């Protein structure tokens, strides 16, 4: 017995001494502490596509273009640009930018970055955002020319997400090392990465623009929302992500902290699989649309943070038609239609979801459909399985599904094309006329004509109901009252746009 | 004369000792090392010896619960090693065993009647009704009330449990019973009752016994012939009276001298 | 059969108990037992399982299991009451003036400790001995109990020793502080006859050397006859007969003793004949019969026996029996 | 009351309260449709998170309403049904499989025994959560699959106990004799082994029952439990923990019930263990 | 003894290979990470490109053969999601798990075992009932719930301890305590049973007859003798603690392997899951081995005679 405890003590002592490093306190009042859900998967801006990485690396790297707080596309590395033809754009590159190691950022680096991310061999998860770019080259005058396969009006919206990496350094360090200790040109420099714990950034005092007030910033991984709330209220962190309206209510009730929110370009919707028995009847799909009370969802459940929408877009998108209401809430009409459909409407419908989504909404939707007489069974699986099921052939995919779509481009093409075009694996619609509409809207360079095309598509959706648009999702953060910051629709955390109040 | 029920010829039972990483057999424990004797119908052969002398292993080997390493065991003159499976099953019915500890010899969750009827069931003897009647008879035979059948072992005293074990051993009408220290664990006043029962059964049913014991006074009382064993070998063998009156081997004499006299 | 050492007879008994009662869960297991042991004598307490003989021994040394407790009676050691002593005072007494050995010698030793250290433990608690002195005394004691090469044996663990050897170690452990009373609870039951003889002889030798008294608990009449001076026969929680071994064995005055002696097969008795058995079984603690507890099995029982328990009464010089009909025994039961 | 002393011996009065708690929960589970005041799945999005005692549209929310305005009391009553059924069935399934495999492994020995016991090692060495997630991913989600997952990950514990106990019993004279006389393997296992190892198995059962309730709660916490809106205590608790400071009742009541349930099972399990091991 | 160990080790290696294969194929039956990695609306070409880039388009047996070949060279591969060597990720997470599980084990054993001894010695003492009530209560709460309560009480309201993370040494206190509650009752129970078992053995009575007090007897004899069941339970409980760490680490944002497990499974980061499984299996084998060695340290019968 004594022997056992003695051995254990010895083992623990050994463990403690080796742990002295990671556990050493780094107390520092000048740091901004942000609690994310998870740690970044990678800090190579071309190698991942997820919010927790995005939040961090956007502060390390500059992009070709960016959006201001109002959501307008503005210059960053490119100071100005010129549309040479429908398929060619020439960018002028800022000449006063240096990477964190001191080397200057050149047009070569811009071209390298474009080629790197568009190379299928490289395997970037962001490939499809940029695959319309067919060529990038440095012109004789030092400007950069990008060529697209066809006219591509969403190009600028996509380029907002293109981070510029230093060619020489990346090639020298190699992929793995660069991933571990990335070097960019942004307002913050990579400092440290304690796996599973936190990523530390320090301010780039040589930044060409405004680097913001924080000498250092720490992004921590705190998976449990309740724990993030506890961290914030106890003062252990200054800003936390991933709040929902109920947690926001908790923050409201606590001293010194508040929820901060913004409407995003994320649209929540109920997808309806037109290829399944019963649901192949447009009347039943219409009935489903009539059964959903968006206002109640938003007001009753989502605390009014979100914004009901009647089209598969948000006001933050190009392609949003002001005043288009979509299918109205009308349970009586829904019941009437269901009665008309008769027997095929009586089978139980499967409703796929994943723990990632707000389960209250899914259950509320189930209830609403139940109230008009449909039987709906929720099938919750983890996200990977959910995605796999959603991507399976339409005939095997679930009857209903809940989704929250973001293209991170604030352009209708990024939403409607993948969700409705028959070539897309995300779509369960196979309609030739619609395909033509989507294709022309995608490459139409005249904004008014383009808007008109999207109007037609919205009408088609309202008639055919492949999806029931629900609401424009809000993103809710919890922030210390000391922190001054207004979140934007594109869900970015730009440290240099934040500050301490007083 | 008649053939012996059991005839043991140069019986050897060796247990391997394994050692080393590969578990090679490096030596053997010679538990039984050359034992021979005959058991005639209606007679009692006793095997005496101290712990570790190999007397119980001999009993198990005769019973067939332990494979001999060498030597032969003849049942009614026929070598068991050459019997077919069904013949073996048949010989099994002719030999039965009573263990030392009546507690572990009975399934604590089975009623006395079920325990007694088990050999009948396994061998598929009679109908359920026949078996019930047989159990009643057996209870009478071993001097237990018929009402005992429905009770569980824990409701009986040690002596009564041993009676149930004996009844079970008699269920298939054996010709010989191997008694492995069958009275050693019993109280003095009960021991004599069970010994008397053995004697009665022998005269009534013509049973033969192989009586394994360390208790020389008990053995002297019940046995016709005696084998004295030590470390796997028989040191002395002969009719009971001869052994007790004129023990030839030094070890037998030591054993006799050690018995406390009343 | 040993004669009673004459010079000790008149002295205060080493140990005596009167009207000892022990209960388990409300049932008496020992029901008014009185005993006394003189210095240098061996008293055998004999009886069948469940008669309360081991409980009596454990009660005397106050090591009863949790469920059992002393519910009455007095115990005196050299005239001094010990039944009221505190646990702490008893600890000082045990191993010092009172020692005990048990039935299963191997299991009675801590399997994880070398035997030498276990013997030393009995010594090292109170005395101010140096470790070298302790060592010498342990080795010396091992030699006295007849263990060869004590230096090697002392370092060995119980599992490396035979049962007889373990009992020798137990005896060494018990005798190392020269107790005035050794309680031996079935010390040879688990051993082979040849080893039994050696152990009994060893105990006798040590008793003579040290003058300790011995309380020998056994179920074996043979052991009693060979190694005790006096005997007390127990049945169902009570002593039914007590006296010198010679008297009791030659002329038992209680039907139980008489029948028990006849029922054991003897090396000089008849062979292959029915033994004169005692009918019935030892009764369970929970339903001991009223009156004389032996009456359901007794051929001499009368209504009087069933109604009233006989007291232990003298039937000769230091020979007592608890039977209403002790005068009929000689004629009707032998 | 002749049975009373016997009852007191087997079940001392200080444990009656735990039996009563369990009995009430089982009763609530059995009679859920009769005693639940509301439909446990009926939402009222305008009456969310109302404190206990709130009256709203003729409905009194005795224990308050949950995050979707459902009656918490009704959900807890139906939740008892789900939690107890999941635990009971998974214990039954894993107990049966484990006990059978353990007995067979011990009895047959040889390579079959080795394979079974190595399988036990394998399943024990893989984190239960990992197996659970993968199994749910393959089988799909749902009530039945939760039970399947629990059974699949827990049977080795029974197998180990059954194996050890069977090995111990196999050499007892009555088993050896029965086997020697030619009794068939099923006969020996069912007549001689099983009745005598059921005690130790029951000890595992009581311990596992409490654990299974907790496991189901853990799966719910990870989003892999029973499907919403089916209420299980674990599911209610894991959503409720987000509202500890704003709507304490959603987390406190299921937490309390879960605690009382497992505590009762544990206390009674300890008692069963003591009785089985003859320590009382 | 050594023969036994070698055989056990060989069987263990076979078991590990079995586990690895089982998990390898089971995982791949449950989909691949490609869809989780790509952005919403990614074109089929982009999805296919990434899939082929990560090698998931090859036949499963080929993937398995490759994996095993790498493994034979002690190469655990690269994280699919993080694109860094798996070994590096495990190395950075492992110390935290050892630290947490070790502290929890120490707490569970340090509180549970003495309590068990006390309960065995003083069965009816009110304190032993109170103590058992406490550990049973601790075992009856789901950790994801008691964790939140602990945080709210000790970190938010009282402010004594950090809410989460592994920033300071005292950060481990709350999660370790929360985790230890799972095992404390088990240790108390097993210790109590083991000590009671020993106390009923003849050598205890013999030791008392020598004049040792109950306390001395327990300290000198019973404790050591009851160590074996406690050791074997400890080996099992460490495995349980590692499993329980999955939830506790999530609640307390503790950067150990538990959190990594759940994240990697959710992300279908196969190589990491494989590595964790491998580690888990190796650890459980090492624990059994350590338990065997401890047995022999405690028990001369095993040490000197190789009885097992």
Mean pLDDT of chain E, nearest integer: 85
pLDDT above 60 (res A28): no
Nearest to E279 by CA among E68, E20, E81: E20
In the block, tokens 């599911």 appear at D235
Q: For residues E218 and E132, state if they share a domain.
A: yes
Under the banding of pLDDT at 50, 70 and 90, the label for residue E308 is very low
Nearest to C99 by CA among C22, C198, C15: C15
Which residues of chain D have a CB within 8 Å of the CB of E262? 129, 133, 222
Q: Which residues contact A123 (CB under 8 A, 6 or more apart)?
A: E49, E50, E53, E54
Under the banding of pLDDT at 50, 70 and 90, the label for residue A23 is very low
Q: Domain limits at D62?
A: 14-277
Cα separations in angstroms, B175 against A401, B42, B193, B210, D195: 80, 8, 22, 11, 32
d(CA A39, CA A219) in angstroms, rounded, equals: 8
D104, D116 contact by CB (below 8 A): yes
**Last residue within a domain, chosen from E86, E109, E128:** E86
Q: For residues E291 and E164, state if they share a domain.
A: yes
Q: Domain limits at E154?
A: 89-298
CATH of the domain at A95: 3.90.76.10
pLDDT above 50 (res A25): no
Residue D263 has its nearest CB partner, among E22, E140, E152, at E140
Chain C residue nearest residue E123, CA to CA: C66
pLDDT above 60 (res A177): yes
d(CA E39, CA C271) in angstroms, rounded, equals: 100
Chain A residue nearest residue E108, CA to CA: A5
Q: For residues A335 and A446, state if they share a domain.
A: yes
Subunit contact D183:B106, Cβ cutoff 8 A: no
Report the first-to-last Cα separation within chain A, whole angstroms: 60
Q: For residues E170 and E226, state if they share a domain.
A: yes
CATH of the domain at D167: 1.10.3720.10
Q: Which residues contact A293 (CB under 8 A, 6 or more apart)?
A: A329, A331, A368
C216, C43 contact by CB (below 8 A): yes
Least confident interval from A118-127, D192-201, E120-129:
E120-129
Sheet holding A78-83, edge to edge: A78-83, A88-93, A144-148, A133-138
Under the banding of pLDDT at 50, 70 and 90, the label for residue C124 is low
Task: Return contacts of C113-116, CB within 8 angstroms, 24+ apart.
Answer: C113/C157, C113/E220, C113/E221, C113/E224, C114/C154, C114/C155, C114/C156, C114/C157, C115/C153, C115/C154, C115/C156, C115/C157, C115/C158, C115/C161, C115/C166, C115/C169, C116/C142, C116/C153, C116/C154, C116/C155
Q: Which residues pair with A270 in a beta bridge?
A: A402, A468
Subunit contact B107:D173, Cβ cutoff 8 A: no
Q: Is residue B42 part of a domain?
A: yes
Q: Is residue D6 part of a domain?
A: no
d(CA A429, CA D245) in angstroms, rounded, equals: 45
Confidence (pLDDT) at A495: 92
Q: Which residues contact C152 (CB under 8 A, 6 or more apart)?
A: none
Confidence (pLDDT) at B19: 63
Q: Is residue E124 part of a domain?
A: yes
Does A contact C via 3+ CB–CB distances below 8 Å? no
Percentage helix, strand, coil, to 5, in chain D?
75, 5, 25
d(CA E21, CA E12) in angstroms, rounded, equals: 14
Secondary structure (DSSP) of B169-206: HHTT--SEEEEESTTTTS-HHHHHHHHHHHHHHHHHH-
Number of separate domains in chain E: 2
Confidence (pLDDT) at E7: 77
Longest pairwise C-alpha distance within chain D: 75
Condensed to tens digits (0 to 9), the pLDDT of residues C45-99 reads 999 888 889 999 999 998 888 888 898 889 998 888 888 888 888 888 888 889 9
CB-CB neighbours of B17 under 10 Å? 11
Q: For residues E117 and E155, state if they share a domain.
A: yes
CATH of the domain at B30: 3.40.50.300
Condensed to tens digits (0 to 9), the pLDDT of residues A32-76 reads 999 999 889 889 999 888 888 999 999 999 999 999 888 889 999
Condensed to tens digits (0 to 9), the pLDDT of residues A354-375 reads 888 888 899 899 999 999 999 9
Subunit contact D137:A385, Cβ cutoff 8 A: yes
Q: For the residues E52-68, what does the mean pLDDT come to?
A: 89
A224, E253 contact by CB (below 8 A): yes
Cis peptide bond prior to D229, omega within 30° of 0? yes
Subunit contact D222:E152, Cβ cutoff 8 A: no
Does B contact A via 3+ CB–CB distances below 8 Å? no
Q: For residues E124 and E146, state if they share a domain.
A: yes
Longest pairwise C-alpha distance within chain A: 84
Q: For residues A77 and A88, state if they share a domain.
A: yes
Subunit contact E42:A122, Cβ cutoff 8 A: no
Confidence (pLDDT) at C213: 92
pLDDT above 90 (res C190): no
Nearest to B119 by CA among B144, B89, B145, B149: B89
Which residues of chain B have a CB within 8 Å of the CB of C264? 188, 192, 217, 262
CATH of the domain at A453: 3.10.105.10
**Last residue within a domain, chosen from E37, E64, E86:** E86
Mean pLDDT of chain A, nearest integer: 87
Number of separate domains in chain B: 1
Q: For the residues E152-168, what does the mean pLDDT come to?
A: 79
Subunit contact C94:E298, Cβ cutoff 8 A: no
Q: Is residue B262 part of a domain?
A: no
Q: Is residue E204 part of a domain?
A: yes
Confidence (pLDDT) at C281: 83
d(CA D27, CA E34) in angstroms, rounded, equals: 48
Q: Domain limits at A422?
A: 264-474
H/E stretch holding C71 reads strand C68-77
pLDDT above 70 (res C10): no
Number of separate domains in chain D: 1
pLDDT above 60 (res A9): no
Q: Phi, psi (5° rounding) for residue B173?
A: 55, 60
- Optimal mutation site among A354, A355, A384, interface D, most CBs of chain D within 10 A: A355
B214, B229 contact by CB (below 8 A): no
DSSP state of A104: B
Confidence (pLDDT) at D243: 80
Q: Is residue B232 part of a domain?
A: yes
Which residues of chain B have a CB within 8 Å of the CB of E6? 21
d(CA A283, CA A327) in angstroms, rounded, equals: 12
Q: Is residue A8 part of a domain?
A: no
Chain D residue nearest residue A244, CA to CA: D242
Subunit contact D46:A300, Cβ cutoff 8 A: yes
Condensed to tens digits (0 to 9), the pLDDT of residues B12-33 reads 999 887 765 555 677 788 889 9
Q: For residues A319 and A387, state if they share a domain.
A: yes
d(CA E239, CA E220) in angstroms, rounded, equals: 30
Q: What is the dihedral of CA C15, C21, C23, C26, to 10 degrees?
A: -170
d(CA A363, CA C319) in angstroms, rounded, equals: 93
Confidence (pLDDT) at C189: 85
Q: For residues E293 and E221, state if they share a domain.
A: yes
Residue E39 has its nearest CB partner, among A15, A126, A391, at A126
User: ipTM score here?
Assistant: 0.81
Confidence (pLDDT) at D280: 42
Q: For the residues A273-283, what does the mean pLDDT come to?
A: 91
Which residues of chain E have a CB within 8 Å of the CB of A128? 38-39, 41-43, 45-47
Number of separate domains in chain A: 3
Under the banding of pLDDT at 50, 70 and 90, the label for residue B112 is very high
Q: Is residue B1 part of a domain?
A: no
Q: Is residue A112 part of a domain?
A: yes
Degrees to nearest 5, angle at CA A126 with A125 and A132: 130
* Separation of CA C90 from chain center: 20
d(CA D51, CA D261) in angstroms, rounded, equals: 24
Confidence (pLDDT) at A13: 44
Q: 3-class DSSP state for residue A400?
A: strand
- Optimal mutation site among E26, E32, E34, E39, interface A, most CBs of chain A within 10 A: E39
B100, D173 contact by CB (below 8 A): no
Chain A residue nearest residue E260, CA to CA: A196
Q: Which residues contact B63 (CB under 8 A, 6 or more apart)?
A: B95, B97, B178, D180
The number of C-alpha atoms within 13 Å of E149 and in the hemisphere containing its C-beta is: 17
Confidence (pLDDT) at A143: 92
Q: Which residues contact C333 (CB under 8 A, 6 or more apart)?
A: C255, C258, C259, C262, C299, C300
Confidence (pLDDT) at D5: 64
Q: For residues A335 and A441, state if they share a domain.
A: yes
Confidence (pLDDT) at D6: 66
d(CA C325, CA C322) in angstroms, rounded, equals: 9
- Optimal mutation site among C188, C192, C252, interface B, most CBs of chain B within 10 A: C192
Confidence (pLDDT) at A88: 92
**Last residue within a domain, chosen from E18, E53, E86:** E86
Subunit contact E202:C113, Cβ cutoff 8 A: no
Q: What predicted TM-score, i.e. pTM, was given to this entire model?
A: 0.83
Residue E166 has its nearest CB partner, among A1, A22, A382, at A22
Q: For the residues A195-204, what does the mean pLDDT come to?
A: 89
pLDDT in tens, chain D (280 residues): 344 666 776 778 888 888 999 999 899 888 878 887 878 887 777 777 888 877 777 777 778 888 777 888 888 888 888 889 999 999 999 999 999 999 999 999 888 888 888 888 778 777 777 777 777 767 777 788 888 888 888 899 899 999 998 988 888 889 988 888 888 889 899 989 999 898 888 888 988 888 888 888 888 888 778 877 888 888 888 888 878 777 888 888 888 888 888 888 888 888 887 777 665 4
Averaging pLDDT over each range in D103-107, E49-53, E284-288, which range is the top one? Answer: D103-107
Q: Domain limits at B201?
A: 6-257
Confidence (pLDDT) at B24: 67
Confidence (pLDDT) at A62: 93
Residue B109 has its nearest CB partner, among D178, D180, D195, at D195
Q: 3-class DSSP state for residue C186?
A: coil
């Amino acid at each position: 017995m004594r022997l056992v405890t003695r051995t254990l003590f010895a083992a623990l002592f050994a463990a403690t001494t080796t742990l002295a490093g990671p556990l050493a306190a780094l107390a520092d009042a000048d740091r901004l502490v942000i609690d994310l859900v998870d740690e970044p998967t990678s800090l190579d801006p071309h190698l991942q596509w997820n919010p927790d990485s995005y939040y961090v690396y956007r502060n390390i790297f500059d992009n070709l273009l960016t959006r201001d707080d109002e959501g307008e596309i503005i210059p960053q590395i490119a100071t100005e640009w010129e549309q040479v033809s429908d398929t060619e754009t020439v960018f002028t590159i800022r000449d006063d930018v240096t990477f964190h190691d001191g080397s200057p950022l050149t047009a070569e680096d811009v071209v390298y970055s474009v080629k790197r991310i568009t190379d299928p061999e490289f395997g970037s998860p962001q490939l499809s955002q940029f695959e319309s770019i067919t060529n990038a080259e440095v012109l004789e005058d030092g400007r950069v020319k990008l060529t697209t396969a066809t006219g591509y009006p969403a190009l600028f919206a996509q380029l907002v997400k293109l981070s510029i990496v230093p060619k020489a350094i990346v090639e020298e360090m190699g992929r793995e090392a660069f991933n571990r200790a990335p070097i960019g040109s942004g307002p913050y420099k990579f400092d440290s990465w304690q796996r599973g714990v936190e990523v530390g950034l320090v301010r780039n005092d040589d930044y060409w623009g405004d680097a913001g007030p924080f000498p250092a910033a720490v992004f921590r991984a705190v998976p449990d929302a309740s724990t993030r709330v506890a961290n914030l209220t106890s003062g252990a962190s200054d800003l936390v992500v991933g709040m929902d309206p109920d947690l926001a209510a908790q923050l409201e009730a606590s001293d010194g902290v508040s929820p901060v929110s913004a409407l995003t370009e994320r649209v929540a919707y109920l997808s309806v699989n037109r290829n399944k028995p019963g649901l192949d009847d447009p009347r039943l799909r219409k009935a489903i649309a009539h059964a959903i009370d968006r206002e109640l969802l938003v007001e009753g459940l989502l605390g009014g943070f979100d914004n009901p929408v009647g089209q598969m877009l948000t006001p933050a998108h190009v392609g949003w038609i002001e005043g288009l209401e979509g299918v109205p809430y009308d349970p009586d009409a829904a019941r009437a239609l269901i009665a008309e459909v008769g027997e095929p409407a009586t089978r139980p419908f499967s409703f796929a979801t994943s723990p990632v989504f707000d389960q209250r909404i899914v259950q509320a939707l189930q209830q609403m459909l139940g109230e008009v007489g449909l039987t709906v069974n929720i099938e919750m699986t983890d996200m990977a399985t959910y995605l796999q099921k959603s991507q399976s052939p339409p005939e095997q995919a679930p009857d209903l599904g809940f989704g929250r779509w973001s293209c991170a481009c604030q352009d209708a093409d990024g939403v409607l094309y993948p969700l409705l075009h028959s070539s897309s694996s995300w779509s369960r619609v196979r309609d030739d006329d619609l395909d033509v509409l989507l294709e022309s809207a995608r490459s139409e360079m005249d904004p008014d004509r383009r808007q008109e095309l999207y109007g037609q598509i919205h009408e088609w959706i309202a008639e055919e109901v492949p999806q029931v648009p629900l609401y424009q999702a809000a993103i809710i953060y919890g922030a210390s009252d000391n922190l001054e910051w207004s979140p934007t629709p594109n869900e970015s955390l730009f440290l240099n746009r934040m500050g301490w109040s007083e | 004369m008649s053939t012996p029920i059991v005839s043991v010829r140069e019986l050897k039972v060796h247990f391997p000792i394994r050692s080393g990483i590969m578990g090679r057999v490096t030596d053997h424990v010679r538990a039984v090392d050359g034992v021979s004797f005959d058991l005639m119908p209606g007679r009692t052969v006793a095997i005496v010896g101290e712990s570790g002398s190999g007397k119980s292993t001999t009993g198990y080997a005769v019973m067939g619960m332990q494979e001999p390493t060498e030597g032969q065991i003849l049942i009614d003159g026929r070598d068991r090693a050459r019997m077919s499976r069904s013949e073996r099953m048949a010989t099994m019915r002719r030999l039965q065993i009573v263990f030392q500890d009546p507690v572990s010899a009975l399934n604590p969750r089975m009623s006395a009647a079920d325990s007694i009827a088990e050999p009948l069931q396994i061998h598929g003897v009679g109908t359920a009704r026949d078996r019930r009647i047989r159990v009643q008879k057996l209870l009478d035979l071993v001097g237990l009330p018929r009402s005992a059948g429905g009770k569980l072992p824990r409701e009986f005293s040690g002596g009564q449990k041993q009676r149930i074990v004996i009844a079970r051993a008699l269920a298939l009408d054996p010709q010989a019973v191997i008694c492995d220290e069958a009275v050693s664990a019993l109280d003095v006043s009960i021991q004599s009752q069970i010994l008397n029962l053995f004697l009665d059964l022998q005269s009534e049913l013509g049973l033969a016994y192989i009586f394994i014991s360390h208790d020389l006074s008990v053995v002297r009382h019940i046995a016709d012939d005696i084998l004295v064993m030590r470390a796997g070998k028989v040191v002395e063998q002969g009719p009971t009276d001869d052994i007790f009156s004129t023990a030839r081997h030094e070890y037998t004499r030591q054993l006799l001298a050690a018995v406390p006299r009343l | 059969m040993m004669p009673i050492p004459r010079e000790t007879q008149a002295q205060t008994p080493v140990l005596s108990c009167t009207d000892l009662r022990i209960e388990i869960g409300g049932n008496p297991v020992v029901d008014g037992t009185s005993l006394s042991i003189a210095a240098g004598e061996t008293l055998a307490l004999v009886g069948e399982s469940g008669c309360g003989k081991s409980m009596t021994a454990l009660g005397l040394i106050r090591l009863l299991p949790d469920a059992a407790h002393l519910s009455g009676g007095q115990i005196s050691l050299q005239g001094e009451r010990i039944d009221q002593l505190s646990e702490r005072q008893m600890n000082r007494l045990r191993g010092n003036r009172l020692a005990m050995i048990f039935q299963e010698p191997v299991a009675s030793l801590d399997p994880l400790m070398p035997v030498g250290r276990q013997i030393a433990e009995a010594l090292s608690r109170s005395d101010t001995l140096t470790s070298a002195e302790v060592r010498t005394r342990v080795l010396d004691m091992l030699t006295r109990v007849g263990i060869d090469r004590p230096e090697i044996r002392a370092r060995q663990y119980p599992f490396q020793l035979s049962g007889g050897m373990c009992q020798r170690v137990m005896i060494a452990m018990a005798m190392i502080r020269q107790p005035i009373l050794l309680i031996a609870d079935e010390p040879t039951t688990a051993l082979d006859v040849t080893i039994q003889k050696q152990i009994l002889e060893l105990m006798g030798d040590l008793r003579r050397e040290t003058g300790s008294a011995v309380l020998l608990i056994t179920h074996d009449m043979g052991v009693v006859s060979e190694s005790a001076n006096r005997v007390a026969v127990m049945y169902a929680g009570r002593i039914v007969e007590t006296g010198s071994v010679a008297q009791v064995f030659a002329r038992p005055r209680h039907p139980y003793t008489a029948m028990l002696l006849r029922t054991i097969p003897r090396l000089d008795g008849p062979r292959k004949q029915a033994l004169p058995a005692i009918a019935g079984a030892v009764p369970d603690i929970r339903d001991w019969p009223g009156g004389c507890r032996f009456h359901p099995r007794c051929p001499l029982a009368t209504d009087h026996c069933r109604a009233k328990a006989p007291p232990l009464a003298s039937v000769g010089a230091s020979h007592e029996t608890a039977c209403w009909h002790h005068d009929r025994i000689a004629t009707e039961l032998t | 009351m002749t049975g009373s002393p016997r009852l007191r011996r087997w079940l001392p009065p200080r444990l009656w309260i735990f039996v009563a708690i369990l009995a009430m929960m089982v009763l609530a589970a059995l009679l859920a449709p009769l005693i639940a005041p509301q439909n446990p799945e009926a939402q009222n999005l305008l009456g969310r998170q109302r404190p206990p005692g709130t009256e709203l549209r003729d409905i009194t929310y005795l224990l308050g309403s949950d995050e979707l305005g459902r009656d918490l009391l009704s959900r807890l009553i139906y939740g008892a049904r789900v939690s107890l059924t999941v635990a009971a069935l998974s214990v039954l399934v894993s107990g049966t499989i484990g006990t059978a495999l353990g007995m067979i492994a011990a009895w047959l020995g040889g390579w079959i025994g080795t394979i079974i016991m190595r399988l036990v090692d394998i399943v024990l060495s893989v984190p239960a959560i990992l197996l659970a997630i993968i199994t749910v991913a393959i089988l799909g989600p749902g009530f039945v699959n939760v039970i399947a997952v629990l059974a699949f990950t827990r049977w080795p514990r029974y197998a180990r106990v059954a194996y050890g106990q069977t090995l111990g019993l196999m050499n007892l004279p009555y088993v050896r004799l029965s086997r020697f006389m030619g009794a068939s393997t099923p006969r020996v296992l069912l007549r001689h082994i099983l009745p005598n190892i059921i005690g130790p198995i029951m000890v595992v059962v009581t311990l596992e029952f409490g654990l299974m309730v907790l496991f189901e709660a853990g799966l719910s916490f990870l989003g892999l439990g029973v499907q919403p809106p089916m209420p299980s205590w674990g599911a209610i608790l894991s959503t409720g923990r987000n509202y500890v400071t704003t709507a304490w009742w959603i987390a406190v009541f299921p937490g309390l019930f879960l605690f009382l349930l497992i505590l009762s099972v544990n206390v009674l399990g300890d008692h069963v263990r003591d009785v089985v091991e003859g320590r009382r | 003894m050594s023969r036994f160990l070698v055989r056990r080790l060989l069987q263990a290696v076979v078991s590990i290979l079995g586990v690895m294969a089982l998990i390898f194929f089971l995982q791949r039956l449950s989909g691949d990470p490609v869809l989780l990695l790509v952005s919403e609306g990614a074109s089929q070409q982009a999805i296919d490109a990434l899939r082929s880039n990560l090698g998931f388009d090859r036949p499963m047996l080929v993937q398995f053969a490759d994996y095993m070949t790498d493994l034979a060279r002690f190469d655990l591969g690269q994280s699919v999601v993080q694109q860094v060597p798996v070994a590096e990720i495990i190395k950075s997470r492992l110390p935290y798990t050892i630290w947490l599980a070790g502290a929890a084990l120490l707490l569970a054993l340090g509180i549970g075992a003495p309590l068990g001894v006390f309960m065995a010695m003083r069965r009816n003492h009110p304190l032993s009932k109170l103590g058992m009530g406490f550990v049973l209560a601790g075992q009856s709460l789901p950790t994801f719930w008691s964790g939140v309560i602990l945080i709210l009480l000790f970190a938010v309201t009282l402010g004594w301890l950090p809410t989460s993370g592994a920033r300071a040494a005292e950060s481990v206190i709350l999660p370790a305590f929360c985790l230890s509650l799972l095992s404390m009752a088990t240790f108390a129970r097993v210790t109590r049973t083991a000590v009671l078992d020993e106390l009923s053995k003849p050598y205890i009575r013999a030791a008392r007859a020598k004049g040792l007090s109950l306390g001395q007897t327990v300290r000198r004899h019973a404790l050591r003798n009851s160590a074996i069941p406690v050791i074997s339970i400890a080996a099992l409980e460490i495995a349980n603690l590692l499993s329980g760490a999955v939830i506790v680490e999530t609640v307390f944002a503790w950067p150990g392997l538990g959190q990594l497990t759940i994240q990697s499974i959710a992300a279908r980061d196969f190589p990491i899951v494989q590595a964790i499984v491998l580690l888990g299996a190796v650890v459980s084998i090492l624990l059994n081995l350590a338990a065997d060695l401890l047995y022999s340290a405690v028990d001369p019968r095993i040490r000197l005679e190789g009885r097992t």
